Amino acid sequence: MVAIAIAVFALRTPRFTGVRYYCPALSGSIMTTTSSSLSPCPNLINGEWIDPKLATSEVFNPSTGEVIAHAPVSGAAEVASAVDAASRAFPAWRDTPAVERARVFFRFRHLVEQHFDRLCHCVSREHGKTLVEARGSLFRGLENIEYACGIPSLLMGDTLEIARGVDCETIHQPLGVCAGITPFNFPVMVPLWMFPVAIACGNTFILKPSEKVPLAANMLGELLMEAGLPTGVFNIVHGGRASVDAILTHPKVRAISFVGSSPVAKYIYETGTRHGKRVQANGGAKNYIVVMPDANVSKSVEALSTAAFGCAGERCMAGSTALTVGAAAERLLPDLITAARAIRVGRTDRPEQKNQPDMGPVITASHRDRVIELVSQGEREGAKIVCDGRGARVSDGPKGFYVGATIVDEVAQSMTIAREEVFGPVLNVMRMDDLDSAIELANASNYGNGAAIFTNSGSAAREFKQRIKAGMVGINVGVPATMAMFPFTGWDDSFYGDLHIQGREGVQFFTQQKVISTRWLGDTGPAAADVWRK
Ligand code: NAD
């Protein structure tokens, strides 16, 4: 008996059938972090790396201003090929038991860990994150892979005897072909918010990475295939608006996960839903950090500095406005200015170098110019620049896209810099009389991503937690970004849709529920086998 059971189990236990794919053009050249040689940037369709003969867009190393790759500007034809591949791959992948699907992600997790440094260097080179920041973002991504490894438990349904002899159960089934459209600011982490859970749920997937940071996404594709994911389950199409529009309107795409700026998020949500798709679209942000007069000064300075200047301010959870209540500004500002002035800006594309900078460049020359112009406009409108990073220069990267840490004091609500998402290393300081006016000002924003308060008062913290209009709230936590097991809960213009990215909501987004009611009537009719088997 035991022997039979073992034999049956052995038969059912899948063997590792993954083919070891290899993209020779990708490996190696991505590692040449300071070389001026171009990295190849093919699409990944049906398990093949394809270099479509199309117009391309330039990918920069923002530390030096050099062009490091040309990303194909794909359109409807490339998206159609990817959707065809994903549609063909769907039935077999859907029918693969969840435990087997999860095993691919256990192997993928191991490979990402094995190639951790290589991925971090790629992120630092194409995006400009410091190595510490790149590592942090990759850890957040790894947690999403780990979450997807738990998919057998996450997909379990409910069951209940609802009447005598009648059972009811729920099962969660995948949707089909799903797509992810991602921003430049987290080249690895944001794609990992989406595709591990989508694919582990049994869907097939098309990733359209930001055309500004396409290289790390290709490394993920390479590792996913090495993990044994069947051909066509994961595809990558590079490009800009034309490829996005093709995804939004393709009849076989069932769901779209988007992260990017609010105007584009709104467009994706409206267009995608009009074409019958599920859409979850994360948008931009303007996050407020309230500092009460009783807050711990050194901890608040450290947290504000990290929240505002970490990742050069290019985070949707950046704490870009300090609302100082009463005496808090006088207590805080001298140390905050000292801390900001001490931030060393420099090249992030030389991982071998001992002295790594505290902050890297911003993504492009035009983005740097926009950030500087917004600060200058603030100054013209009456704000005071108490720490000025506009003239930042890096001697060994004279053509890099640098802005130093900047603090703009006495910002008023009417100023452009108070309303626009700056997305650079700029902290606004707005002085408030009391907590009520701070909450009122923050709640007047169209965004609603994150908000934080620094205080030692439990009642102030409670008041803030209850009344603030934001989906993610920190109490003495400057960047309350959620981890993989919790949803990333933006509100208002920071999110369009119903089910958020990550956590159980992420699983719900990528599955549809079926409720089955069952009653067995006894063996009175013909043998079941005679009826349904020829
Ligand atoms: P973006 O909106 O310019 O681009 C995001 C994606 O949309 C890219 O893949 C891009 O190719 C595509 N795209 C751009 N313009 C388009 C258009 N007109 N039509 C169709 N597709 C278009 O955003 P970005 O500059 O890459 O990223 C920064 C923004 O992302 C910031 O606003 C930031 O707050 C936001 N963001 C939000 C979150 C969040 O979870 N809420 C997380 C990260 C970044």
Extents of the domains making up the chain: 7-283, 287-475
Phi-psi region of 203 (alpha: psi -120 to 50; beta: other; left: phi over 0): beta
The CATH H-level superfamily of 287-475 is Aldehyde Dehydrogenase; Chain A, domain 2 (3.40.309.10)
Report the nearest-CA residue for atom 20 of ligand 1: 241
Does the pLDDT of residue 479 top 70, yes or no?
A: yes
Å from CA of 28 to ligand 1 middle = 29
CB distance 210 to ligand 1 below 6 Å? yes
Beta bridge partners of 168: 160, 517
List, for residues 385-432, the tens digit of each pLDDT value: 999 999 999 999 999 999 999 999 999 999 999 999 999 999 999 999
Residue 37 pLDDT: 77
**How confident is residue 7, by pLDDT bands cut at 50, 70 and 90?**
very low
Q: Which residues contact 472 (CB under 8 A, 6 or more apart)?
A: 317, 449, 450, 451, 480, 481, 482, 488, 489, 490
Give the residue-averaged pLDDT of 324-344: 97
* C-beta of residue 286 within 8 angstroms of C-beta of residue 321: yes
pLDDT given at position 28: 44
Report CA-CA distances (Å) from 238 to 10, 37, 248, 408: 41, 20, 15, 38
Ligand 1, atom 34: closest residue by C-alpha: 284
pLDDT beyond 90 at 529: no
Q: Which amino acid is at 436?
A: D
Q: Kindly report, residue by residue over 225-253, the tens digit of the pLDDT.
A: 999 999 999 999 999 999 999 999 999 99
- Selecting among 23, 120, 316, 387, the annotated active-site residue is 316
Q: How confident is the model at residue 24 (pLDDT cuts 50, 70, 90)?
A: very low
pLDDT on residue 29 = 41
Is the shortest distance between the CB of 260 and ligand 1 below 6 Å?
Answer: yes
Report yes or no: 45 and 78 within 8 Å, Cβ to Cβ: yes
pLDDT at 31: 36
Cα 336 to Cα 305, 357, 383, distances in angstroms: 7, 19, 17
- For 338-394, the pLDDT digits (tens) are 999 999 999 999 999 999 999 999 999 999 999 999 999 999 999 999 999 999 999
Instruction: Say how many Å lie between the CA of residue 98 and the centre of ligand 1.
Output: 32
pLDDT over 90 at 480, yes or no: yes
pLDDT, average across residues 454-478: 98
Q: Which residue has the tokens 């994903």?
A: 86
Q: Which helix (H) or strand (E) holds 320?
A: strand 319-325
Q: Tell me: the pLDDT tens digits for 65-102? A: 999 999 999 999 999 999 999 999 999 999 999 999 99
pLDDT tens digits for range 150-185: 999 999 999 999 999 999 999 999 999 999 999 999
Nearest CA to ligand 1 atom 39: 282
Distance, in Å, from the CA atom of 512 to the CA atom of 171, rounded to the nearest integer, reads 8
| Residue indicated by tokens 């097939």 | 204
Domain 7-283 CATH assignment equals 3.40.605.10? yes
Q: How confident is the model at residue 533 (pLDDT cuts 50, 70, 90)?
A: low
The residue written with tokens 């309350």 in the block is 480
pLDDT band, residue 523 (cuts 50/70/90): low
With H, G, I as helix, E, B as strand and everything else as coil, classify residue 167: strand
Whether the per-residue pLDDT at 25 is higher than 60: the answer is no
Q: What is the DSSP string of 461-485?
A: HHHHHHH---SEEEES-S-----TT
Q: Which atom of ligand 1 is nearest to the CA of 282?
A: 41
Structure tokens at 44: 């990944």
For the Cβ of 494 lying below 6 angstroms from any atom of ligand 1, the answer is yes
Number of H helices, E strands in the chain: 18, 22
CB proximity list for 420: less than 8 A, separation 6 or greater: 286, 374
3-state percent breakdown (helix, strand, coil) of the chain, nearest 5: 40, 20, 40
Percentage of the chain lying above the pLDDT 70 cut = 91
CA distance linking residue 501 with residue 494, whole number of Å? 12
Which residue out of 41, 59, 144, 264 has the highest number of ligand 1 atoms within 8 Å of its CB and is therefore the one to mutate?
264
Under a CB-based contact definition with an 8 Å cutoff, are residues 349 and 64 in contact? Answer: yes
* Radius of gyration, alpha carbons of the chain: 25
The pLDDT tens digits for 98-137 are 999 999 999 999 999 999 999 999 999 999 999 999 999 9
Q: What is the dihedral of CA 46, 47, 50, 55, to 10 degrees?
A: 60
Q: Which amino acid is at 58?
A: E
**pLDDT in the model for residue 527:** 63
Asked if the domains 7-283 and 287-475 are classified in one and the same CATH topology, the answer is no
448 Cβ inside 6 Å of ligand 1: no
523 Cα distance to chain centroid = 54
362: Cβ below 6 Å to ligand 1?
no
Confidence at 13, pLDDT banded by 50, 70, 90: very low
* Structure confidence at residue 20 (pLDDT): 35
Averaged pLDDT of the chain? 93
Give the model's pLDDT for residue 522.
80
- Say what the pLDDT of residue 22 is: 40
Annotated catalytic, 316?
A: yes
Pocket lining: 244 vs ligand 1, CB cutoff 6 Å: yes
